[in-house]
Chains A and B, each alone.
Chain A
Amino acid sequence: MSETTTGAGAPAREPVRAPARDSARDDASPGVPPAAHPVRLTVNGEAHDLAVDPRATLLDTLRERLRLTGAKKGCEHGSCGACTVLVDGRRVVSCLALAVACDGREVTTIEGLAAGGRLHPLQQAFLDADAFQCGYCTPGQIMSGVGLMAEGRARDDASLRDELSGNLCRCGAYPNILAALRRTTGIEPAPDATRGDDRLRAAAGVDEIARDARDGAGQGGA
């Protein structure tokens, strides 16, 4: 079965949402010290003039000030990719970007991806390929995938794996994430992937792509 819009299934399974809040809270936040720095962030097409703590990361600013909680906090050190957003079209880890440094930039988050209630093709591909379980890393995975498509660096299956390796998925959905990306980018599985889902690039920094699965049985899976 295939879902085509963000509204699919609603209202029967409306997700539990955080209660809506008045966004006027921005500058009334008692947590912002006097040294707050004025910035303009354009987020998902909407301009926000904010006064931010110079220490505040883009991630915290999105989550705490703009209430865009799609970008997730996983490690706060750029080690997991859960906070990935696009800044001026390029993916970055928003936990390592200071909000002040993004003044005047265009930021795209997972909330800005579905246009007019219609899912981005990669969001749809994630649904179809079951490219997640718990869903926590998913916004980062999808934003990373969208950035990957825009950057145009991934040309084959092996580089696709590398390009996706900045986003950890502890539920281990990688084969399905790859399947979603392949479907959306049109990148073919490596030609000798005759079994299972895909194949693997050579280990630990060595260079070649070694021959993988032997000829034999067909595509697996249940």
Chain B
Amino acid sequence: MTPATTFVGSPVSRVDGPAKVTGAAVYAADFDIPHLAHASIVQARVPAGRIAAIDTRAAEAAPGVLAVMTHETTRRLPWHPRDPRPGVDPKAGERLHVLQDDVVRYDGQPVALVVAQSEEQARAAADLVRVDYAPTAARTRFDVAYARAPSEATAKAGRPGDTSRGDPEGAFAQAPVRVDVPFVQPREQHAAIEPHATIAAWDEDGRLTLWDKSQWVDNVRTEIAHVFGLAEDRIRVISPFVGGAFGSGLRTWPHVTLAALAAERVGRPVRLALTRRQLFTNTGFRPHTESRVRLGAFPDGRLTAILHEATGQTSTYEEYAETTLTPARQLYACPNVATRYRLLDMNVNTPSPMRGPGAATGELFLETAMDELAHALGMNPLELRRANLAKTDPDSGKPWSSNALAACWDQAAARFGWADRPRTDEARRAGRERIGSGMASAFYPAHRAKARARVTLYANGGAMIQAATSDMGPGTYTALSQVAADALGLPLEQVRVEIGDSALPPAPAHGGSITMATLGNAVANACAALRETLGADGEGDLTPALRRSGRDSAAAEGASSPGKEAQEYESAAFGAVFAEVRVDPELGTVRVARLVGGYDVGRVVNPKLARSQCIGGMVQGIGMALSEEAVFDRHCGRVMNANLSDYLVPVCADVGALEAFFVESDDRVFNPLGVKGLAEIALCGVAAAIVNAVYDATGLRMREVPVTPERIVTAQAARGR
């Protein structure tokens, strides 16, 4: 045994891999709870109005039905107010108080719940519930004329309505070269393959256990404690495996309350598993956002003005806002910058963070406009970016804790072969297809939060790491094992990680790319604390020290929270993405032949898993660019493709050669472990690079995603006229 092995930085396989390839990994709906009953939601079929009448008699008489719950028959819950959680909750408004009144706020809102012996019975009976509505006027059309400025609470939370530095309008007016680019990002769905599901069970003492799909078990506990007026220690939330979430598991959605209510009503554990259709309206989504970017530059490419306006949709009952305009303020050096953010209240369920929230959308807008500017300047798009590198944060003036964006540009361009890309019409032709190349920068602010972790070392050489964090796929189990194995001087296979349980030491949301910068340091600190407790020196196997102490085991906790660096520095992950597309101009089809992404994410704990995460972001970016749109019917206020046959996430055959790599980076200013964060940056810039490559191939400026075959053909026809 050679405990000197360094696991951090090495490409070990997933420690939870054997469970995942054998079917042994247990997700929320998989838990086998005795005497389980099943619930099914009845959804509103109008976008706004009141429930005039509900007839539940047929449903109540259906086989196996245990209860039918409506706003008339459901007890009033306290719904104690609580502060919105940063990065997760809307900053203003009030969450949906499900089954508490007769108001319909959006199509798909739960208006009744059927509980039955089996899931088939619950669904069959749910179909028998008759609801009469008194419809009222609904806003189902995205019309910026009705947009409004965000509230003060939202503005204070980094989503201001209006910002300005320098003289943006004046500088733009005087800029020798200008572009003015509108763009539309439609509503996108997280579309994780695991549907959200909750099992709720109350015990005789009124304690509630929830087996739930969640990226933040502590948040579920706190939310349900407030909704039901319970002390938090009466609730336990368990979520060991999460079948993808991409942000949909950050908030506690109404179905969790419904599951707990149903279990209370029937006096048995109840499982409520959302159907694929229900997921579209009972969890969040990336909001439809419309944008206008104006850029002004000198002939040498230096930006003199950035003016970015964006309007995002939110619901009528909560104010969800995104950091869409942060990249405009921070990504490039520019003295004159204005941003203007507006919100449009619509009769939809509330949007929520989806991978790269705000930034992925904002960079699609900004980076496609940068491409237009490059062409207006007659300049290589890569050179335009290089001419505007922000050596410090242009918004705050603070230094970056680290910034290797220039290395990302250089190395990714070299790997892609950017200098040798086809640039003549002849070279761009490949049979009936046209070849196009495009690029974009990627940027996502790095943060970390407060967390605790516990380590327990056993005399037999095993160790246990515990924290209430989560692993929705990036590899928290593995990466925390690596950190602990190094800190304890143990072989990797002797470290076990337990997460996804609110009974464990508290952790923040598993989202926003903060998990390793937060928990990684907490685990390292816990291990250091244990080492100190045992009076051992700086490194090596800690087990002998434990044995010398005569104990069977020893435990310690460690904490981690942001330090002074959060005030003194700006921290962010950076990247550069290059795309090669093939466009069939006749049919309008686009395929992504190659993507190359170079990333500055700080220290990489596990290159194998980190590469997987970046490739996964690229695949989602292909969907964002080419196929994903929740089609919202403006007449009936309903998502028309609420299924996986017509909401098109990429399939294997859509994906070309993907290459992701990491530039040298190790940000010990940001945190002792040196990591910055990886999940969000992996999506940022991908769609923009693809859209820019489509322009290179076709000369068509596509200003709305997804770039469907029909849109290409329509744009060509418009150009021909």
Direct contact of A and B (CB under 8 A): yes
B265 within 8 Å of A (CB atoms): no
Q: Is the CB of B14 within 8 A of A193?
A: no
B473 within 8 Å of A (CB atoms): yes
Q: Is the CB of B32 within 8 A of A21?
A: yes
- Chain A neighbourhood of B430, CB < 8 A: 210-211
- Interface positions of A from 39 to 73, Cβ below 8 Å from B: 53, 55-56, 60, 63-64, 67-73
Closest Cβ of chain A to B38, distance in Å, is 8
- Interface positions of A from 103 to 157, Cβ below 8 Å from B: 109-111, 113-114, 119, 123-124, 126-128, 130, 132-139, 142
A172 within 8 Å of B (CB atoms): yes
**Smallest CB-CB separation from A202: which chain B residue?**
B591
A212 within 8 Å of B (CB atoms): yes
Complex alpha-carbon distance, A110 and B18, angstroms = 12
Interface size in chain B (residues, C-beta < 8 A): 114
A213 within 8 Å of B (CB atoms): yes
The 0/1 profile, CB within 8 Å of A marked 1, for residues 592-620 of chain B is 11111000000010011111111111111
- Chain A neighbourhood of B619, CB < 8 A: 169, 172, 174
Q: Is the CB of A197 within 8 A of B495?
A: no
Q: Is the CB of A195 within 8 A of B193?
A: no
- Chain B neighbourhood of A139, CB < 8 A: 21, 23
Q: Is the CB of B193 within 8 A of A74?
A: yes
Closest Cβ of chain A to B127, distance in Å, is 13
A31 within 8 Å of B (CB atoms): yes
Given A30-B117, A134-B194, A220-B415: A210 and B655 interface contact (C-beta under 8 Å): no
A175 within 8 Å of B (CB atoms): yes
- Interface positions of A from 164 to 222, Cβ below 8 Å from B: 164-165, 167-178, 193, 195-204, 206, 208, 210-214, 216-217, 220-222
Q: Is the CB of A133 within 8 A of B659?
A: no
Q: Is the CB of A133 within 8 A of B604?
A: no
Given A74-B276, A203-B589: A16 and B240 interface contact (C-beta under 8 Å): yes
- Chain A neighbourhood of B64, CB < 8 A: 30-31, 33
Q: Is the CB of A172 within 8 A of B615?
A: yes
- Chain A neighbourhood of B432, CB < 8 A: 206
B73 within 8 Å of A (CB atoms): no
Q: Is the CB of A168 within 8 A of B649?
A: yes
B264 within 8 Å of A (CB atoms): no
Closest Cβ of chain B to A217, distance in Å, is 6
Residue among B120, B241, B415 with max Cβ neighbours from chain A (10 Å): B120
Closest Cβ of chain A to B247, distance in Å, is 12
Complex alpha-carbon distance, A137 and B649, angstroms = 14
Closest Cβ of chain B to A190, distance in Å, is 10
A3 within 8 Å of B (CB atoms): yes
B653 within 8 Å of A (CB atoms): yes
- Chain B neighbourhood of A16, CB < 8 A: 26, 240-241, 498, 500
Complex alpha-carbon distance, A130 and B13, angstroms = 7
Instruction: Provide 18 A-B residue pairs closer than 8 Å at the C-beta atoms, listed in order of the A residue.
Output: A3-B13, A9-B493, A64-B119, A73-B29, A73-B273, A77-B643, A111-B22, A130-B14, A135-B473, A161-B653, A164-B653, A170-B193, A193-B657, A213-B657, A216-B420, A217-B414, A222-B611, A222-B662
Spell out A's residues near B (CB within 8 Å).
1-3, 6-9, 11-19, 21, 29-33, 53, 55-56, 60, 63-64, 67-77, 79-80, 82, 109-111, 113-114, 119, 123-124, 126-128, 130, 132-139, 142, 161-162, 164-165, 167-178, 193, 195-204, 206, 208, 210-214, 216-217, 220-222
